[in-house]
Amino acid sequence: MNTEVMTKPDLARELPPDATDVPDWLHKSLRVPREEGWVESGGCDIHYFRWGNPANPGLLLLHGFLAHARCFGFIAPFLAQHYHVVAFDLSGMGDSGVREQYSESVRASEVEDVARATGLFDHAVKPVVIAHSYGGHVALTAMQDSHALFGGLIICDLMVLRPERLKAYFSSEKPLRSDPSRPNRVYPDYEAAKARFVLSPPQPVNVPSLFDYMAYHSLKKVEGGWTWKFDTSVFQSDFGRQERMLRQGEIIAETPGRKAIVYGQDSLLFDDDSAAYIHECGATDIPVIGIPGARHHLMLDEPIAFVSVLRTILAQWEAQSA
């Protein structure tokens, strides 16, 4: 494992050059010391951040498709006071290495390998996984085979719709690009590249500086300009298979281990009907908590409310285990 010592992030590098109206809480959050490093998983270097004291119980944070660990970069510090928190870039995304293919088993191995290499399994209390969107798909796969290693899973706005609604959604929405042979475009400057950054599904955000932050760290400077950090090879994966997504409610119900669901009540991918549908699939013991005013990217819309909900779930699980 290649790591660096715990250091206070450099805000000049952490915040984008065009950042404006940055709230005070975000400045404070990004100043919290963290460790940065890489671990090896199946021959691929996986980039991670770590906050907090390893003597505390662990949390492992998973981001969504084409995103990166920094979507939790301003959330993790709020959890680090009482937890040992690790967030990592899935391979082919962020600052992690690239693979030729990304099967569900490969993704599940990354979850276990990062948790083990960063010491999350060394604590007497098993680590909890907190996963957003596609990260929830990855976490469910990992939990199906290795649930005994983890203390629970908090799924955050994973796409779950009744089959008829899901089919209608895919028939009306433009699918994500799926040609892995086409390289990412290089833009002449940062401004031109940022202008092409969009959230999926498209949505405004309640904290604009967080949109700027995510855009900035989704890009990298290369010869000739700026381009996306994710590699197009990630489209060579199991993600988006409709046959699995049509069973998402059943998969959540069938996956062993303690689970909870958090979603944005204005999300297009998970809503109040999704909560009812999951319960109908048999997951009657899973708490499902909606955050008012939040959409799919709930950490960009209502970050403080999101943190409060996560803290509450974790505290309740700790009390139940005491």
pLDDT interval class at 239 (50, 70, 90): low
- Per-residue pLDDT tens over the stretch 24-48: 999 999 999 999 999 999 999 999 9
Q: Which of 167-176, 271-280, 313-322 has the lowest mean pLDDT?
A: 167-176
Answer yes or no: are the C-beta atoms of 31 and 10 closer than 8 Å: no
Can you tell me whether residue 158 is helix, strand or coil? coil
pLDDT interval class at 244 (50, 70, 90): confident
| pLDDT at position 275 | 95
Q: Is the pLDDT of residue 263 over 60?
A: yes
Question: For residue 89, what are its two tokens?
Answer: 């870039």
List residues bridging with 131 in a β-sheet: 62, 155
Determine the Cα–Cα distance for residues 83 and 24; give it in Å rounded to an integer.
23
DSSP letter at 40 equals: E
Determine the Cα–Cα distance for residues 236 and 16; give it in Å rounded to an integer.
31
pLDDT interval class at 7 (50, 70, 90): confident
- Per-residue pLDDT tens over the stretch 147-185: 999 999 999 999 999 999 988 888 876 656 556 678 899
Task: Give the residue, 151 or 1, on which the prediction is more confident.
Answer: 151
| pLDDT at position 198 | 94
Q: What is the mean pLDDT of the chain?
A: 93
Determine the Cα–Cα distance for residues 197 and 175; give it in Å rounded to an integer.
16
- Per-residue pLDDT tens over the stretch 133-147: 999 999 999 999 899
- Domain covering 2-321 assigned CATH 3.40.50.1820 in the classification: yes
pLDDT interval class at 235 (50, 70, 90): confident
Helix boundaries (H) for the chain = 11-14, 24-30, 76-79, 104-117, 134-146, 163-172, 190-194, 208-216, 242-245, 248-254, 272-280, 298-301, 303-321
Q: Is the pLDDT of residue 191 over 90?
A: yes
pLDDT interval class at 207 (50, 70, 90): very high
Q: Is the pLDDT of residue 210 over 90?
A: yes
pLDDT interval class at 4 (50, 70, 90): low
